[in-house]
Copies of this chain bind each other. A is one copy, B any other.
Amino acid sequence: MSSSTEPSTRFASEWSRRHLLGLEYLEAREINLILDQADELHELTNGGRTKLSWLQGTVVANLFFEPSTRTRTSFSLAAKRLSADTVDFTSSGSSLSKGETFVDTARNIEALGVDQVVVRHRSPGAPGLLAKALKTTVLNAGDGTHEHPTQALLDISTIRRHRGTLEGQTVVLVGDIRHSRVARSNIWGLKKLGARVIVCGPATLIPPRIQDLGVEVSYSLDEVIGEADCINLLRIQFERQRGAFFPSIAEYAHLFGMNGQRIRKAKENTLILAPGPINRGVELTPDVADGKHSVILDQVRNGLLVRMACLYLLLKGGQS
C-alpha cells in the first residue's frame, strides 16, 4: 500500500524532458521509460483502478481546440487518478484559432497556476509553440496531421504488453496514412523500437517518399496480411480529408477493411488494433472488433496508463 501512495522515482530519475511534442523527438530509451512507467502504474493501480497521490496539488489544463471526447476524457481521468486537479478549455476554434490569441490564451491559463497543459490543435506545431511560450509542461494531444504521440504510445504499449518487445515485430498500418497523425507517430515510435513497419492503403492515401521514414509500402492488404504480427486499422477521418481520395466507403471496406474472411489469411496470433472511435463495417466488421485477435479495449486501458506515465514523468522527472 505504501508503494502505491509514494511516488516511484525509478523511472522519473532518468527522465529529463518537460514536453511531449512527438515521438520523432524521443530516443528509444525515452519511449521505453514511458512504457516502463506505464507498466509500473498498471501494477500499482490494479490496471488504473486505484487512485494515487503522485500529482496531488498540481493542476492539469486540457486545452482542446478541436473536438475530442475520448482523448480528452482519457487525459482527464489520468490526471484525476494521480490526484491532480483538472480544468477544461474547449473551443470549436474561430476566435481562438489565431496564432497570437492562442498563445495569449495559454499564457493566461498558465498565470492561473496551471502546471501542465494538454493541447490539441488543428495546426501542426501548435504544441511546440506553447512549449516555447510557457513555463508549464506541454503534452501534444494531436496537432493537425503532425503527431499524436500518446495514441502511438498506447498502441506500442499494447503490442509490448502482448509480445514483450517491439523488436522484430511486423506492424502493418492500414488506411489513410497521408492525413493520419496517428500513423506518423506510430512510424516514429515503432521504428525506433526496432519494429518492421508496412504502411498499406489506397495509393491516394499514401504520401510520396514515405519510404524515407524507413517503412515499406503496400497497396494491397491481402498481399501483406500474412506477414503481419500486428495490424493497426487507422480510422478514416472524413473530417480531415479535403478531397475524394477513394471511390466509395464500400470500395474502401472491400479492399482495406478487416472482416471475418480476410482475417483468416493472417497469422494465428495477429493482434488487431484500432484507434477509436471505430466505424464498424468500414475499417473493420463487428466480428473482428469483438473477436479473439482484437486488443482494442486493451488500447483504451493502456491509454489511461500511458497518459498517467507521461503526466507524471514530465512534471516530476529529472528531479532526483
Give A residues with C-beta under 8 Å from B.
47-51, 56-57, 59, 69-70, 73-74, 76-77, 80-81, 85, 87, 89, 100-101, 104-105, 107-109, 111-113, 115, 276-278, 280, 286, 297-298, 300-301, 303-304
Closest to A98 in B: B280
Could you show 27 A-B contacts with beta carbons less than 8 Å apart?
A47-B113, A48-B112, A49-B113, A49-B115, A50-B57, A51-B85, A59-B77, A70-B108, A73-B87, A73-B89, A73-B109, A74-B112, A77-B112, A77-B113, A80-B87, A101-B277, A101-B280, A104-B277, A104-B278, A104-B280, A105-B277, A108-B277, A108-B297, A111-B297, A111-B300, A112-B303, A113-B301
Min Cβ gap A195→B in Å is 24
Contact yes or no, A73 B112, CB < 8 A: yes
Contact yes or no, B59 A276, CB < 8 A: no
Closest to A299 in B: B111
Residues of B within 8 A of A105 (CB): 277
- A47 vs B57: C-alpha distance in the bound complex, in angstroms? 13
Contact yes or no, A85 B77, CB < 8 A: yes
Residues of B within 8 A of A89 (CB): 69, 73
Contact yes or no, A77 B87, CB < 8 A: yes
Residues of B within 8 A of A286 (CB): 100
- A277 vs B57: C-alpha distance in the bound complex, in angstroms? 27
Also in contact, A113 and B81, with CB within 8 A (given A76-B87, A108-B300): yes
Using A69-B89, A74-B112, A111-B298 as known contacts, list a sample of 5 further A-B pairs with CB atoms less than 8 Å apart, ordered by residue number in A: A49-B113, A80-B85, A108-B276, A112-B301, A112-B303
- A80 vs B115: C-alpha distance in the bound complex, in angstroms? 14
- A300 vs B111: C-alpha distance in the bound complex, in angstroms? 6
Contact yes or no, B57 A51, CB < 8 A: yes
Residues of B within 8 A of A109 (CB): 73
- A107 vs B301: C-alpha distance in the bound complex, in angstroms? 11
Instruction: From A70, A73, A278, A280, name the one whose CB has the most chain B CB atoms within 10 angstroms.
Output: A73
Closest to A114 in B: B77
- A286 vs B98: C-alpha distance in the bound complex, in angstroms? 14
Min Cβ gap A34→B in Å is 19
Contact yes or no, A112 B51, CB < 8 A: no
